[in-house]
Amino acid sequence: MAELFAAVEIISAKRDRNELTDPQIDWVIDAYTRGAVADEQMSALLMAILLNGMNSREISRWTDAMIKSGERMEWSALSRPTVDKHSTGGVGDKITLPLAPLVAACGGAVPQLSGRGLGHTGGTLDKLESIPGWRAALSNDEMLHVLKECGAVICAAGAGLAPADKKLYALRDVTATVEAIPLIASSIMSKKIAEGTSALILDVKTGNGAFMSDPAKARELAKVMVELGTRAGVKTRALVTAMDVPLGLTAGNALEVRESIEVLAGGGPADVVKLTLILAREMLDAAGIKPLMDPADALKNGAAMDSWRQMISLQGGDPDAALPIAKEKMEVKATQDGEMISMDAMKVGVAAWRLGAGRSRQGETVQAGAGIEIHAKPGEQVKAGQIIYTLHTDESPRFERALESLDNSFKVSSTGEKADRLPLILEKIEA
Ligand code: URA
């Protein structure tokens, strides 16, 4: 059958800063997904979009076309409203782990489709896979079963969900076209809308450890995503949050699971607890759920922990199993007394990755025990000789490259200089 358009016409239209029409967008996404548009043609179009942008109609149509490339899940069999959270990713961002069971304990149903880490930010699935027996790959029926039983499921998106995004994302990764707001927004929102959640809270990170280090760009991305979700009938809100320093005190798979369990047990670092509670309250409110209990109480009284244990067990994991520990560790000490004034999140993320916690190519295995434990955060006083961070890895030759990344990333000042941190929440964006 003859094709409706020639890819080259669509590429030249965007190259010359023209708007793409709805039929052009529908065709190019469909034709690329079925292999009728070549990778080199789509690469050229993606670069033209990165350079020349898309207006809100084009972004919305592009997102719809990506949703239509695959299945759309639906959860009408559930008695509770569905609500999800998506983070644009950051260092030590383990919030999904305590948050999903917490919201379940308070009365929501959280169908969380997550990804694996690539580069300096960790992936939720890699973290959970450090729990012995836990399975990320669930069928749609298994997902529904876990959701019905405990109110939260965290698993991998199946091949049927937004297949256009899977191809496009892999291509963007190797053509320097990831960093375009229309492409990021459509990629994230096509998957979240296809996932079938009725409400969604977006955690858009900003600061040097985030995708969008510039707060103005993070705000713009948040606005575009809120508009896309709202147009699709999903009650969507966004918080722009800090990623100038790592969240919590750990970066690395099993290390972050351990910290999440501390939060579920009523303890854990203050920033992780605070952000978890803020996001839980937003999720419950956006979904119109009258909470069964206050989220802070659910962390203290064991209800969130019960949901976590049930969710892990239903996905084949043993919530009582010991978590993996790396074979080697190295402690790094402060060389002078003073205040910790800065801690570069990006450098910490790269160091955790170099220790073996992350991957540089799709499909690589990650080390469950690798990563960094932080013992002093910006704003805290340290003494010369005090351990400020501990590196963990199974392969000691990795220490050197990790230390190179961390060189000058933790700064201690004895001159009265103060830590200058972003506020945890910079802004809230609603439709
Ligand atoms: N996460 C996604 O799913 N897509 C992007 O484009 C960026 C982050």
Is residue 347 scored above 70 in pLDDT?
yes
Answer for the pair 356, 401: CB distance below 8 angstroms, yes or no. Answer: no
Mutate-to-test residue for ligand 1 from 66, 88, 362, highest number of ligand atoms within 8 A of CB: 88
Cβ of residue 187 lying under 6 Å from some atom of ligand 1: yes
- Name the region of 37 (left: φ>0; alpha: ψ -120 to 50; beta: rest): beta
Residue length, the chain?
431
CB 304 within 8 A of CB 264: yes
114 lines ligand 1 (CB under 6 A): no
Q: Is 393 in the pocket of ligand 1 (CB under 6 A)?
A: no
- What number does the ligand 1 atom closest to the CA of 178 have? 6
Contacts of 151 (CB under 8 A, 6+ apart): 80, 101, 103, 104, 105, 107, 108, 109, 110, 307
User: Of 17-26, 169-178, 235-244, 309-318, which range is least confident?
Assistant: 169-178
Domains of the chain in start order, with CATH, are: 7-53 (1.20.970.10), 83-321 (3.40.1030.10), 328-413 (3.90.1170.30)
Chain-centre distance for alpha carbon 49: 24
Report pLDDT for 93.
Answer: 96
Q: What is the DSSP secondary-structure string of 68-98?
A: HTS-----TT-SS-BEEEEE---TT--THHH
Task: Find the range with the poorest average confidence among 169-173, 265-269, 336-340.
Answer: 169-173
Q: What does the pLDDT read at residue 118?
A: 63
Mean confidence (pLDDT) of the chain: 96
Task: Provide the token pair at 95.
Answer: 């919030």
What is the average per-residue pLDDT within 135-156?
96
How much is the average pLDDT of 1-11? 93
d(CA 431, CA 421) in angstroms, rounded, equals 28
State phi, psi for 95 to the nearest 5 degrees: -60, -35
296-325, pLDDT tens digit by residue?
999 999 999 999 999 999 999 999 999 999
Average pLDDT score over residue span 200-226: 96
Confidence of residue 418 (pLDDT cuts 50, 70, 90): very high
Cα–Cα distance, 44 to 55 (Å, whole number): 19
Of residues 14, 172, 309, 392, which has the active-site annotation? 172
Q: How many CB atoms lie within 10 A of CB 75?
A: 18
pLDDT in the model for residue 115: 81
Task: Give the residue whose CA is nearest to atom 6 of ligand 1.
Answer: 184
- pLDDT of 430 higher than 80: yes
At 266 the pLDDT is 98
Q: 173 pLDDT exceeds 90?
A: no
Ligand 1 centroid–CA 188 distance in Å is 5
**Neighbouring residues of 425: CB distance < 8 A, sequence distance ≥ 6:** 239, 240, 241, 242, 275, 278
Residue pair 105/307 in contact (Cβ under 8 Å)? The answer is: yes
Tracing tokens 């402060």 back to the chain, one arrives at 334
Please give the average per-residue pLDDT across 29-52, as a whole number: 98
The owner of tokens 């203050």 is 270
Task: Return the minimum-mean-pLDDT range out of 107-111, 360-364, 387-391, 424-428.
Answer: 360-364
* Residue among 26, 126, 165, 203 flagged as catalytic: 165
Averaged pLDDT for residues 278-299? 98
- Mean pLDDT for 411-429 is 94
Three-state SS at 160: coil
pTM (predicted TM-score): 0.96
* Rounded CA separation 267/302 (Å): 11
For residue 253 and ligand 1, the question of a CB distance below 6 A is answered with no
Average pLDDT over residues 242-247: 96
Spatial distance between the Cα atoms of 125 and 318, rounded to a whole number of angstroms: 16
| Cβ 184 under 6 angstroms from ligand 1 | yes
In angstroms, rounded to a whole number, what is the distance separating the alpha carbons of residues 210 and 417?
Answer: 25
Residue 393's region, left for phi above 0, alpha for psi from -120 to 50, else beta, is beta
Determine the Cα–Cα distance for residues 101 and 175; give it in Å rounded to an integer. 37
In this prediction, residue 117 carries a pLDDT of 73
Listed in sequence order, the residues at least 6 apart from 39 whose beta carbon sits closer than 8 Å to its beta carbon are 171
**Cα 304 from chain centre:** 21
Q: What stretches of 20-59 adopt beta strand conformation (E)?
A: none
Point out the catalytic residue in the list 191, 219, 235, 347: 191
CA atoms within 13 A on the CB side of 246: 34
DSSP state, residue 51:
H
Residue-wise pLDDT tens digits, 102-143: 999 999 999 999 988 766 777 999 999 999 999 999 999 999
Q: What percent of the chain has pLDDT over 70?
A: 99
Active-site choice (60, 114, 187, 307): 187
Q: Could you say which DSSP state residue 198 is in?
A: S
Please tell me what DSSP assigns to residue 191. H
